[in-house]
Amino acid sequence: MTVPAFGLGTFRLKDQAVIDSVRNALDVGYRAIDTAQIYGNEAEVGQAIAESGVPRDDIYLTTKIWISEFKRDALLASLHGSLEKLRTDRVDLTLIHWPSPDDAVPMEEYLPALAEAKAQGLTRGIGISNFTIAQTRRAISILGASEIATNQVEIHPYLQNRLLVPFLQEQGIHVTAYMSLAYGEVIKDPVIQAIAGRHQATPAQVALAWALQQGFAVIPSSTRRENLASNLEAASLRLTDEDLAQIAVLDRGHRLANPDGIAPAWD
């Protein structure tokens, strides 16, 4: 299965805010929704989808297994729990949210369990998130590159992941960029704003178009309907070579998702 180029992220969205965000996103044309067990909003995401009127088969739904559920039986049970909350009999993509810290549960246990979830029909595709080059190599040795639908990692103009991205592309593993606006930091950047002005676009559209033009999938979030609709228009914005060159020099290794005790040793 091909990971959709554009989806809705739901990180940090809770309760009515996530219900409204998903409902509005589906209403303006989104057909991919990204959630995770640790977000604590799977039930609300499931409610919004069920009440949206959009057929479940038209929606690409992603969730992620949290690090506390990596033992084989726990992983499968936790995914059953996610499906119940999401009001569906299967998701389209299930990711390992972070590699097991300090290899507390070996990859050789939780990745085959994830593959088993696919074999059982609980998920149509499987993948990884926040895996380094070395960890992705290990995952490939266990699953095979063709079984890894994506590696979902933080990428934005301030963190361009120039070692990991080419490696993933060489392996044929799709890149999903999260935190594409760096919590709003990049849309305040004068370079991004100037490019937006030249294209009569918003700075958010420029940052998203930059990722899309490199073949990444993006999953920005918003609680405002007008921003959801505006972000979606980034797919039709074409940046020039000069624009891309100006954005390239903004890379400063500015990482935002780096939780103590969980994050790996980044490339």
Active site residues: 39
Q: Measure Cα distances from 148 to 120, 129, 166 in Å.
A: 17, 10, 16
Contact in structure between 62 and 94 (CB atoms under 8 Å): yes
Quickly count: other Cβ atoms within 10 Å of residue 210's Cβ: 28
Instruction: Round to whole Å and give the CA distance between 249 and 261.
Output: 31
Closest CA to 234 of 260, 250, 243: 243
Q: What pairs with residue 32 in β-bridges?
A: 60
Following DSSP, what letter does each residue of 98-159 receive, concatenated? SPPGGGSS-HHHHHHHHHHHHHTTSBS-EEEES--HHHHHHHHHHH-GGGEEEEEEE-BTTB
Taking the alpha carbons at both ends of the chain, their separation in whole angstroms is 28
Quickly count: other Cβ atoms within 10 Å of residue 152's Cβ: 29
Instruction: Round to whole Å and give the CA distance between 158 and 247.
Output: 9
Q: What pairs with residue 152 in β-bridges?
A: 129, 176
Instruction: Round to whole Å and give the CA distance between 224 and 103.
Output: 39
Q: Is 97 annotated as a binding residue?
A: yes
Binding residues for substrate: 97
